Amino acid sequence: MPHKKKQKQKAILAIVKQGRMDVTRSGMSYVIIENENVDVLVRPPDFGNALHGDIVRVEVTKENPRTKRKEGRVVEVLHRKQTEFIGQMDIGPKKAYFIPDTQKKIPDFLIPPEKLNNAKHQDAVLVRWTEWKKENRHPRGEVIAILQADQASDMAMKEILTENGFPITFEKEIIEEAQQVPDCTDEAEIKKRKDYRNTFTITIDPADAKDFDDALSIKKIDNDLYEIGVHIADVSHYVQAGTALDTAAYTRATSVYLPDRVVPMLPERISNELCSLRPKEDKLTFSAVFHINTKAEIKKYWLDKTVIHSNHRFTYEEVQETIEQKKGIYLEEILSLNDMAQTLRKQRFQKGAINFSSQEIRFKLDEKGTPIGIIIKESKQANQLVEEFMLLANRIVAEHISKIKVKNKTIPFPYRIHDEPDAQKLLPFIDFARKHGHTFNVSTPKTIAASFNSMLRDVKGKPEQHVLEQLGIRTMAKATYAVDDIGHYGLAFEHYCHFTSPIRRYPDIMAHRILFDCLHNNPCIDTKMEEKCKHSSERERAAMESERAANKYKQVEYMRNFLGQVFEAVISGVASFGLFVETVAHKCEGLVTIQSLAAYDEFRLVEGDYCLVGRRSGRQFKMGDKLFIQVVAASLAKRQLDYEWVIDGHKNQAGKLEDQLNKK
């Protein structure tokens, strides 16, 4: 029996699992195993050449029989999360080392003399990892940029990007390959495509956009029937599968949008020149074209590659002005497109799509990238016009692919899925909504969506609108990419994908390639599609984390100008350690700590009510409540704002300060 027990233990310890390396501040690491509620402790001597965030294979070498806590060692690095690092040079008489500036323990890099690129001792630099052989103590790297010490904000943005695994620059060979890609708008290529150059076509984008990846065409067929074309930049024509350019795009998987910069998925030669649907130029596109009547009923559609010639480049603001004032160039076309878009939008909500309102917070920056103002933008009909036709194209492409079978099986495809709400997560929210007079029918997913929409209509303009919207969004599942076509709950679509932004999203490029193969009766079975979907979803989450961190940094940078001043604010979150509070004027969130409230009363958290309650006074702080706060600290290093509650007697002071702020 003891012999069998030892054999069983050896079998357990021989298991090799795959997971993500999470290095703690203490220097220990836990490999978090994918799809399992388990992690494996790895001590520094057993890291191998793995770094924080890497995807690794870990061998279990020990297991505590009582706690089942597993220990192991890294046997292979499958994918590096981060290849670029910010830090400082330490150059000695014989060797040059790079010391990464990170809270996670990372070995110093050895930089060969020919890879210093003029960096000097103690310079702040950006270094790219090049190799790390098992027999070497230190990873090798090369200096790719020297950072200026007086550009703290620029360095902070770059640090956020590198920490989330986004290369700041394209490698030289990628740039060179992009430069060599020819502009293929010659007659031989055009003859292979449907020619839409004589059909009225426009682009509608933000005023500061440089890459225009979608265009709309409209042609009247008869009194009640239009041909509407959704034309998307044909990136897959220029970025061929298997090239270094394609590999670089897949690795990034998405562009990243920070307040002061865009980190593109593709080099500018591709994104801003060849593929951008600039006006008055012939451009190659992949199109979804619909015959659609004024009731937004689709009579027929077709999908294929085209060539277009955009008549005009509009900004959202220009289109919105045309819609509101009923005057301007191409008035009839814009109003017709808008009417159809609004009908499509109404139909979506009737079918169960959830109508969460959206606000976009943008920073007004000076020439150095320092925030000098905050602009709050809301989605208007011009935005919705573009959105509805993009949603339509995405839905139709997904529906089309879902019907194609190879040997009675659907083909692997990067669907954009959104699962139904989890009933257990919904219960606390439903209880909270009931206290504000809103009831939920939870009998089916469709009735839940209808209840959400009813609540959102009722709270519009009321004090509790923001809190109920934010809590409602948090109860929802996260949209991801997957081969399993379960539909998109939030949009009320049975089939959905991303097809309309291939300049900035890699799943759209994959969708284009698969659709093209299917249209030409050559569907390809990609056995690695699920892995590619997981990678794309992970990179999307990393981009969102980067954007959140960068926005928070800019908020702190902006609010440093108002230390000691008092503002009206709204409670946006409640925790046992304090209140998260967002200023009304700037939408900048900070923390009012439980310690700072202690002078007034001892507060405790009531989770079901999302509030803090004073033990003696009974004073409540609930999500959505308004109050006055004073800005007491703004830490750029922590990306953290600290506020203190100001009792109601300071309203007059706050009002004066608000007036001063508005004048600025």
- Residue 215 falls inside a structural domain: yes
Same domain, 75 and 89: no
Note the maximum CA span of the chain: 89
- Residue 226 falls inside a structural domain: yes
What is the reported pLDDT for 497? 98
What is the reported pLDDT for 13? 53
Write down which residue in 515, 549, 583 finishes a domain. 549
**What CATH number corresponds to the domain at position 96?**
2.40.50.700
- Residue 509 falls inside a structural domain: no
Write down which residue in 549, 579, 614 finishes a domain. 549
| Nearest alpha carbon to residue 278 among 230, 219, 193, 210 | 210
Same domain, 430 and 452: yes
* Inter-residue contact 559 to 631 (CB < 8 Å): yes
> SS3 letters for 50-66?
CCCCCEEEEEEEEECCC
Write down which residue in 79, 98, 116 finishes a domain. 79
Same domain, 201 and 342: yes
Same domain, 369 and 242: yes
Single-letter residue type at 289? V
**Domain with 275 in it:** 182-348+358-395+539-549
Q: Which residues of the chain have pLDDT under 50?
A: 1, 5, 7-9, 11-12, 649, 651-658, 660-664
- Residue 324 falls inside a structural domain: yes
What is the reported pLDDT for 649? 45
Same domain, 215 and 330: yes
**What CATH number corresponds to the domain at position 43?**
2.40.50.140
Distance linking the first and last C-alpha atoms of the chain: 82
Q: How far apart are CA 72 and CA 59, in angstroms?
A: 5
What is the reported pLDDT for 28? 87
- Residue 522 falls inside a structural domain: no
User: How does DSSP classify residue 274?
Assistant: I
- Residue 523 falls inside a structural domain: no
| Size of the chain, expressed as the number of residues it contains | 664
Same domain, 212 and 94: no
* Cα-based distances in Å from 609 to 441, 574, 617: 20, 10, 17
Same domain, 378 and 244: yes
What is the reported pLDDT for 474? 84
Same domain, 186 and 291: yes
What is the reported pLDDT for 149? 65
* Inter-residue contact 555 to 641 (CB < 8 Å): yes
Same domain, 245 and 332: yes
Same domain, 90 and 68: no
What is the reported pLDDT for 64? 85
Same domain, 315 and 245: yes
- Residue 74 falls inside a structural domain: yes
What is the reported pLDDT for 385? 97
Domain count, the chain: 5
Same domain, 262 and 388: yes
What is the reported pLDDT for 274? 95
- Residue 30 falls inside a structural domain: yes
> How far from chain centre, in Å, is Cα 532?
17
